Amino acid sequence: MIKQTTQQIAQTLNGKLIGNGEITIESISTDTRQAVLNGLFFALKGEKFDAHDYAQQAVEQGCIAVVVERELNLSVPQIIVEDTRLALGQLAKWLKAEINPKTVAMTGSSGKTTVKEMTAKILQKVTACDDEVLYTFGNLNNDLGVPMTLLRLTPQHKFAVVELGANHIGEIAYTAEITLPDACLVNNVAAAHLEGFGSLSGVAQAKGEIYRGLKQGGKAIVNLAHYYPQWQKEIGEHELQSFCYTGEDKDSYADFWAENVELHLNGSRFTLHSPQGEVQINLPYLGEHNVSNALAASALAMEVGADLDAIKMGLEQRSNVKGRLFPIEINPHLLLIDDSYNANVDSMKSAVSVLKNYPAFRIFAVGDMAELGDETTACHQEVADFVAKAELDLVVSFGKESAVISNNARHHFTDKNQMADFLLPIILQKIEEKQPLVLLAKGSRSQKMEELIRSLCHSFNVSF
């Protein structure tokens, strides 16, 4: 954040200032529970909350001014606007334009956080200074998270890597307009958040909105394996670049593609082809799908200045993120994989593909996939069919819809503690027999399958 006076911020927001206009703001806050220093509090409103009711708490936490939709009985300056949510985005858009870092953005049904992490690692090799690359923290990728990400910008930042998520039409169009990326992409399209989008075509429409936000002269990057012609309207006259990984000869028609892919238990090795040439990559991310994610990250990073050396160094430096194929080695015979952050049909299949390749006793602990609307039953059956073909050693399920995946009422649970109690003797027996065992837990965020991983780690006195 650039230091600004309350008067300057009021002008930027076209708001009415009540009180001292010379107060200097150093940070932004939307959470009354967090202490801030010289902060400006945005009193946001939602269907079930109104932060105007708690503005005094924000002042007590260190905020020295507030942005509100109505005048409050407070002792600090107030900037009154029509909509505090839109004002937050307006301030973020102003700050981003003022600092003007090279910016890339990504969205997609799955893998966007991994692409974000990979891209950030590459660009950190370009700058040789981690602090000069701003990137989305955690999963703050919605209409509030994206502005809060951009409001962390300082003059030190040379690059910004911004993840855009959505659960309804129009959300990405809004955040993309705030972000104004130099390059952006849709990583993939799959059956996810169907309740909000209505259909796979609706998902594609929502994700394609990201191209609408490209700045003049920006580059639209597409995944040829997930390209929808309807996106051309959003892309318009912007230059197009492509990446693709299907494992087939047609991949070579893309600008970024992978050859000689070798999958290993701790990652993969492949030749990355790009407009700058080719380079060997030893990728420390599990699964075939992460080869595609690496291509996506390479395309984004190269467009804003990365060369092949930076791409190689960045991709070969793993960024471990809990909930996304995060490995926890308990002992030489037991590996737990936390893939609990979220789930849709494609990401479920990718996780199973990773698990089935381990030369070990393979346990899949699966929770429900949420927000699938009328397609809920069909999607769970599709995963069940895929799991059956994988011929894993044991499948246990949790929730309401996933019983079809374990295909055995005895292996379906509505209590994760009971699931852990069932699994622990099996795990201990395999350890005693010195037989390697790998357990992968996955489900939608609402299922909190990381609780199973945490419980099992606790049984072995391992922190998680």
Is 92 part of a structural domain of the chain?
Answer: no
CATH number at residue 57: 3.40.1390.10
Is 78 part of a structural domain of the chain?
Answer: yes
pLDDT at residue number 323: 87
Both 51 and 109 in one domain: the answer is no
CATH number at residue 424: 3.90.190.20
Both 205 and 163 in one domain: the answer is yes
| Annotated binding-site residue? 114 | yes
Is 321 part of a structural domain of the chain?
Answer: no
Both 66 and 166 in one domain: the answer is no
pLDDT at residue number 192: 62
Both 42 and 71 in one domain: the answer is yes
CATH number at residue 233: 3.40.1190.10
Is 358 part of a structural domain of the chain?
Answer: yes
Average pLDDT of each block of 10 consecutive residues along the chain (464 residues)?
A: 95 97 96 91 92 95 96 96 98 97 95 94 96 91 95 96 91 96 94 66 90 96 93 95 94 97 90 98 92 97 98 89 87 93 91 92 96 90 95 95 88 95 96 94 95 96 90
| Annotated binding-site residue? 24 | no
pLDDT at residue number 199: 79
Both 388 and 415 in one domain: the answer is yes
Both 56 and 110 in one domain: the answer is no
Is 8 part of a structural domain of the chain?
Answer: yes
Length of the chain: 464
Domain that holds residue 294: 100-315
Both 77 and 104 in one domain: the answer is no
Is 105 part of a structural domain of the chain?
Answer: yes
| Annotated binding-site residue? 158 | no
Pairing of strands 24-25, 4-5: antiparallel
Is 95 part of a structural domain of the chain?
Answer: no
| Annotated binding-site residue? 414 | no
Both 260 and 151 in one domain: the answer is yes
Both 155 and 284 in one domain: the answer is yes
Both 371 and 331 in one domain: the answer is yes
Both 215 and 343 in one domain: the answer is no
Q: Which own/partner pairs from 22-25 qualify as long-range (CB within 8 Å, at least 24 positions apart)?
A: 23/64, 23/65, 23/76, 23/77, 25/1, 25/64, 25/65
Residue type, 106: M
Is 91 part of a structural domain of the chain?
Answer: no
Point out the domain boundary residue: 27, 48, 82: 82
For 373, residues 6+ apart whose C-beta sits below 8 A from its C-beta are 194, 195, 198
| Annotated binding-site residue? 350 | no
Number of domain units in the chain: 3
Point out the domain boundary residue: 282, 315, 348: 315
Both 108 and 256 in one domain: the answer is yes
